Structure 1
């Protein structure tokens, strides 16, 4: 029956939170964004409390940038979303668990080219920018389970490419979850040593909220 817990989480998470019509910020992406939603502790839940605004949330566990079906395709999550700010992540489920496949580099190239200007991620971001949104890309941390493995160089290269993408468009910025979730602090991670704990999700929300206050202080009032 141990399988029941993750299955139940996925079912409850699939219910999602949706997008209030006047939400100034919408979160989309994979399980890193959606984790702890059941107990009201997802990244979007944290942003709502910290920024004192409504925050939309269309993120889902298992979502992919490429090839996913329905809302498990992150570009599909964003259909009809034109919020002033969109907070995005993605790519881990495309690369696959463990990053041990011989095609990880080829998948990374499909996700985002070396110059950061082409691939599935820049295309998704460009489409969102065309709707008038500014985009915060939330780069992955190194999870305790995969610290020191072949995953690390792949994700380091992905971060370099994402940074080039952000540098090419002033309406796109990048924040790094690794700055607030060191793999050495197990209290910030769930029991699977991959996803954030409630404290980890809170730290991600704090990182993003501080960035939004910094770049858009008129919309997001500074903390009191």
Structure 2
């Protein structure tokens, strides 16, 4: 569940969700949509996924992986004077707001929840460079939320991109490249594997000798 951080490269099989599927040898249902927000008022397009909370369609999932909030801040207030919008997303203590509300609902379904932060562009400029402080604050608040419940996990991407390295981003320096999506998926997969006591399948070992994929059971969901 989430926005373009997860949705990038989905239709060519190189998204974050595709990496999770490959690394864990488990199925992944990916409902993420580029441009999705937590606050989205239009009913029809919201129901098909532009509202992140509505991307959850029910079901008994072991894990639900979420990202989001960037479009609410960047498009909603241009990352300028965003304190009120930030508070609506998640309070300073991590206990109130749209994000904790969704996480609570998902936890009530029995799923463990992973919330994933956003990429940074250390050492280079980007069109949303002025949003860096808001990104750091959002990460800090979600980390506080995760600290309240052992079944909620926060995966930070703040340290994923090496200084000055453009290879993790698409040409717009906002969205992940295929390499970036793969690295994000691998980081999430390691957390799930460590928690579940599973092995992570390497990229080269994801296919059997005859090139076929392993059989999957429906459990993982970003």
Flag the 1:72–1:54 CA change in 2: closer, same or farther, 3 A: same
User: 1:208 & 1:221 partners in 2: Cα distance?
Assistant: 13
Match of 2:27 in 1: 54
Given that residues 74 and 90 in structure 1 are in contact (C-alpha distance below 8 angstroms), is that contact kept between their aligned partners in structure 2?
A: yes
Given that residues 65 and 91 in structure 1 are in contact (C-alpha distance below 8 angstroms), is that contact kept between their aligned partners in structure 2?
A: yes
Structure 1: unaligned runs, 5 residues or longer: 1-27
Deviation at 1:98, TM superposition (A): 9.9
Match of 1:159 in 2: 139
Cα deviations by residue, 1:153-185 (Å, 9 ceiling, x for unpaired): 111111111010000011001111223234621
Match of 2:37 in 1: 64
User: 2:91 & 2:76 partners in 1: Cα distance?
Assistant: 21
192-201 or 98-107, larger mean C-alpha shift: 98-107
Match of 1:94 in 2: 72
Given that residues 29 and 74 in structure 1 are in contact (C-alpha distance below 8 angstroms), is that contact kept between their aligned partners in structure 2?
A: yes
Deviation at 1:103, TM superposition (A): 3.8
Flag the 1:216–1:101 CA change in 2: closer, same or farther, 3 A: closer
Structure 2: unaligned runs, 5 residues or longer: 203-222
User: 1:98 & 1:192 partners in 2: Cα distance?
Assistant: 20
Flag the 1:81–1:92 CA change in 2: closer, same or farther, 3 A: farther
Q: Is 1:116 the equivalent of 2:89?
A: no
- What SS does structure 1 have at the residue aligned with 2:72? helix
Given that residues 127 and 173 in structure 2 are in contact (C-alpha distance below 8 angstroms), is that contact kept between their aligned partners in structure 1?
A: no
95-104 or 41-50, larger mean C-alpha shift: 95-104
State how many pairs are aligned. Answer: 195
Runs of 4+ residues over 6 Å off in structure 1:
none
Deviation at 1:152, TM superposition (A): 1.0
Match of 1:177 in 2: 157
66-75 or 192-201, larger mean C-alpha shift: 66-75
User: 1:199 & 1:102 partners in 2: Cα distance?
Assistant: 30
TM-score, normalisation: structure 2: 0.81
Flag the 1:182–1:106 CA change in 2: closer, same or farther, 3 A: farther
Match of 1:135 in 2: 113
Q: Is 1:85 the equivalent of 2:79?
A: no
Given that residues 84 and 132 in structure 1 are in contact (C-alpha distance below 8 angstroms), is that contact kept between their aligned partners in structure 2?
A: yes
User: 1:172 & 1:102 partners in 2: Cα distance?
Assistant: 29
User: RMSD between aligned alpha carbons?
Assistant: 2.0
